Amino acid sequence: MAVLADKVAIVTGSGRGIGRAIALKLASAGAAVVVNDLDEEPAAETMALIAAAGGRAVACTGDVVAPDFGDRIVDAALAGLGGLDIIVNNAGYIWNTTIQRNTDEQWQAMLDVHATAPFRILRAASEHFRHSAKREAAAGGVVQRKVVNISSVSGMYGSATQVAYSAGKMAVVGMTHTLAKEWGRHGVNVNAVAFGFIETRLTQAFEGQPAEIEVKGEHYKVGFPSAAVEDLNKRISLGRPGQVEEAAGAVYLLCLPEADYITGQVLICDGGRL
């Protein structure tokens, strides 16, 4: 039997990159997945990949920072897939600049997507987690559930030009530690994974002008100059950036039954850079 058979997982930002790799990894282990992306097309692509491998998925597209999104995605799991056992708060993007150029809008956008959105999703899931734990205990059983919040080494240790992003990513670490203390009695493990340099569209190397991504109609510069990437690789113990599948593997580890006694921890997945 697949190790995550009968589990239902939410993975935000799973239409592309690391999020897609996480969704595919959990689905390959038997979990049914609620797929989320801001846009319908990438979410549909992830769902098609899961279906082609024999898995189950439903979509909950839309902006994770919308005030009603937490309730909506939890409802998608409960109504669409019949439960909720795993939450991976992965959705996010970068909007970098030095502090003197950092606007209030930029600051708030990074806090909203990296801290407020996970908070609302976890708040929406709290009633299901608490009531399910009471019901299962009354029946003489225990079901362990998992939360994995995605942070960054930028949040843990800081990074030049990323004051807002780093603040948001460290906020989710505080949330992780707090909910591990609150939810342990409900059988919920709450951990975080802090990624280092993982190859995605946000970290792509470029020559000349940086690449751009579009988020909600706005364009953001992403990536690093090729020379900077080469230098960064020299400072990583493994000598290379991580792949999205390797990032997904770190999240997967914390979703396994073997991790049932691990909670309140931050797993750094950075190839030994630090």
DSSP state of 242: B
Catalytic residues: 165
Is residue 98 exposed (0-12), middle (13-18) or buried (19+ Cβ within 10 Å)? exposed
**Do the beta carbons of residue 191 and residue 147 sit within 8 Å?**
yes
Residues 6 or more apart whose Cβ sits within 8 Å of residue 196:
152, 153, 236, 242, 268, 269, 270, 271, 273, 274
Rounded Cα distance, 14 and 10, in Å: 9
Angle between helices 17-28 and 244-255 (to 10 degrees): 50
